[in-house]
Amino acid sequence: MSPSLAVEAHGLVKHFAGRKTVTKAVDGIDLAITEGTVFGLLGPNGAGKTTVVHMLATLLRPDAGTARVLGHDVVRDADAVRSAVGLTGQYASVDEDLTGTENLLMLARLYGFRPAAARRRVHGLLEAFDLADAGARQVKTYSGGMRRRIDLAASLVLAPRVLFLDEPTTGLDPRSRNQVWDIVRVLVDDGTTVLLTTQYLDEADQLADRIAVIDHGRSIAEGTASELKRSVGEGAVHLRVAEVADRAKAAEITERLLGADVVLGSDPHALSARVPDEGADAVVGLLPALADAGIVVPEFSLGQPSLDEVFLALTGQPLPDDEPGSDGSSAAPGRRETSEAPR
């Protein structure tokens, strides 16, 4: 175990037995997470992200492989691991019938804080998470963003050195998601190591120092966001058409000229495509070709591929779109529809 690694795993495997079949939820995952960083596990639902977290947090016993958290083996030294980590799952785990203050006080007392110290710790957490005014209210009256913040606060009563965040912003509105992101950044600045699972591409791009892309229980790529983007090509075309009805035709022209799959964002005006090496010269002719077809393009840019395009290139399919497009339409036949608009 390197002293600079907070989490290290080799060949983690986990099976789940059904009535007739055995599912390999995690199939040989390796991890090396440096202290004081955010490590992202990016993948769709069912990829094995939560199972990995539960093994590292000692909630599940690995069927094969080894893992150490802060130097402690997750099987042999499970108690030591639990004393050093925090876990926030996909759903709020606090008692909805208690107030925010009562929830945090209960946890602080269970962790061994004396009454006065517990009150000081709870007051500090409520202030830090912008919940001081809501502390006396029952959690069941909280909004979705407030529930996630009180859940995060609960996982930090003991100020863990390693924090596992399992899809912490699922279902939150953009403002609440940004609040959670700000909290994560502050925690890392204070020295906490964060393992973040997410299926949101922008979340991994915004927060993670390194990202492992996992699919069907296997890690299929790992690196920084920039490294992953460079791995599938040096450039990407992003454009928006003036008329929604023109997007399908624009996608056909772009695909034909560049010889690359087109990604249709949830923005009904937007599309993007990677620029393969052999298609770089064709980019020059793309705008004239669109103009000849009578398609008005108010926005056009060249940049790095998005993480969505990385996932598409690695797996042959995009991450699932959690929300329909604003026009309520589905993707055109043969096109890839994603939850991320081109940047």
pLDDT of residue 118: 96
Element (H, E) at 130: none
Distance CA 257, CA 333 (A): 18
pLDDT at residue 249 above 60? yes
Rounded to 5 degrees, φ, ψ at 256 are: -70, -45
pLDDT at residue 340 above 50? no
The total number of structural domains that make up the chain = 2
Distance CA 229, CA 118 (A): 46
Same domain, 90 and 149: yes
The arithmetic mean of pLDDT across residues 299-328, rounded, is: 64
pLDDT of residue 158: 86
Residue-wise DSSP of 49-94: HHHHHHHHTTSS--SEEEEEETTEETTTTHHHHHHHEEEE-SS--S
Q: Is 39:33 a contact under the CB 8 Å cutoff?
A: yes
CATH number of the domain within which 171 lies: 3.40.50.300
What's the mean per-residue pLDDT of the chain?
Answer: 85
pLDDT at residue 62 above 90? yes
Same domain, 80 and 168: yes
Q: Residue 342 domain-assigned?
A: no
Rounded to 5 degrees, φ, ψ at 75 are: -100, -55
Same domain, 72 and 91: yes
pLDDT of residue 6: 96
pTM for the model: 0.73
Q: Check residues 228 and 340 and name the one with the higher pLDDT.
A: 228
Q: Residue 89 domain-assigned?
A: yes
Q: Residue 301 domain-assigned?
A: yes
pLDDT of residue 275: 81
Confidence of residue 322 (pLDDT cuts 50, 70, 90): very low
Q: Check residues 19 and 64 and name the one with the higher pLDDT.
A: 64
SS3 track for 240-279: ECCCHHHHHHHHHHHHHHHCCCEEECCCCCEEEEECCHHH
Q: Residue 228 domain-assigned?
A: no
pLDDT of residue 273: 86
pLDDT at residue 107 above 80? yes
Same domain, 158 and 290: no
**With pLDDT > 70 as the criterion, what percentage of the chain qualifies?**
87
Confidence of residue 233 (pLDDT cuts 50, 70, 90): low
pLDDT of residue 331: 38
Confidence of residue 40 (pLDDT cuts 50, 70, 90): very high
Same domain, 195 and 279: no
Q: Is 266:338 a contact under the CB 8 Å cutoff?
A: yes
Same domain, 203 and 317: no
pLDDT of residue 337: 41
CA distances from 152 to 84, 103, 166 (A): 16, 12, 11
pLDDT at residue 92 above 50? yes
pLDDT at residue 304 above 80? no
Least confident window among 145-149, 171-175, 270-274, 291-295? 171-175
CATH number of the domain within which 264 lies: 3.30.70.790
Same domain, 270 and 212: no
Grouping H, G, I as helix, E, B as strand and the rest as coil, residue 324 is coil
Same domain, 215 and 248: no
Structure tokens at 230: 């460079």
Grouping H, G, I as helix, E, B as strand and the rest as coil, residue 212 is strand
* Residue 128 CB-density burial (10 A; 0-12 exposed, 13-18 middle, 19+ buried): middle
Distance CA 40, CA 196 (A): 5
Domain boundary residue among 163, 196, 223? 223
* Residue 133 CB-density burial (10 A; 0-12 exposed, 13-18 middle, 19+ buried): exposed
Confidence of residue 332 (pLDDT cuts 50, 70, 90): very low
Same domain, 176 and 84: yes
Same domain, 242 and 123: no
Q: Residue 206 domain-assigned?
A: yes
pLDDT of residue 114: 95
Domain boundary residue among 193, 223, 253? 223
Confidence of residue 262 (pLDDT cuts 50, 70, 90): confident
pLDDT of residue 317: 67
pLDDT of residue 53: 95
Structural domain harbouring 192: 5-223
pLDDT at residue 333 above 70? no
Same domain, 266 and 166: no
Same domain, 204 and 287: no
- Residue found under tokens 């705008």: 287
* Residue 316 CB-density burial (10 A; 0-12 exposed, 13-18 middle, 19+ buried): exposed
N- to C-terminal Cα separation, the chain:
39
Question: Which of 338, 32, 38, 330 is CA-nearest to residue 199?
Answer: 338
The arithmetic mean of pLDDT across residues 281-294, rounded, is: 91
| Chain CA centroid to CA 290, Å | 35
